[in-house]
Chains A and B, each alone.
Chain A
């Protein structure tokens, strides 16, 4: 059974700092891994999707890496801003469920960027 863990559960940093969020998963048989952002009381916004054959993806100040063999992904945020404050969720799409697009989520890292 696939399990996804995110450490730390919460993180507080001063504005301008570069930071890394961690995600680990127990089964390396995945189609892809997605990073999402969730603001309080809102739905999830997709940030980056890394295919199982890829090592990293970049979008603006965000860079996500994937090491499938070790079951790890990191989300790097450069020059953090108060607007980056949110909960960041990591999710994997298992490769053992046929055509299903079910995602298995971690419990998230709550990020606070202080001005």
Chain B
């Protein structure tokens, strides 16, 4: 079974630009979550989607948005990029509806903002 796939693996953008990251969950998984990882803050929750609906949202500005498609694939978008948005963005999927199903993570997208 294929794991969680994130594309692209690396991105370099300039301040003020926008970026879209993509995540394909494990087949059959309906819940997708996004996390930002930085050396200073560690892993911070961005948002979570289930059946195309946002189920939970972290404390990030409105420049960060996401969506989920009917096939459970998800995208996140960051507009008006800032230097502080440089981070590893990780996507995770799970068999939602089961309280104790583990989260499975992709290898992430490394975003560098210059």
Contact = CB atoms under 8 A, between A and B. Distances in A.
A binds B: yes
Interface of A: 31-32, 34, 36, 41-46, 49, 51, 89, 91, 97, 99-108
**By CB atoms of chain A within 10 A, which of B92, B99, B110 has the most?**
B99
Contacts of B48: 100-102
Interface of B: 4, 6, 31, 33, 35, 42-43, 45, 48, 50, 55-56, 58, 90, 92, 94, 96-97, 99-108, 110
Contacts, number: 62
A101 B94 contact: yes
Main secondary structure of the interface of B (DSSP, over half): strand
Contacts of B42: 105-108
Contacts of A41: 110
9 contacts: A32-B99, A32-B100, A41-B110, A42-B107, A45-B105, A49-B102, A91-B43, A101-B101, A103-B103
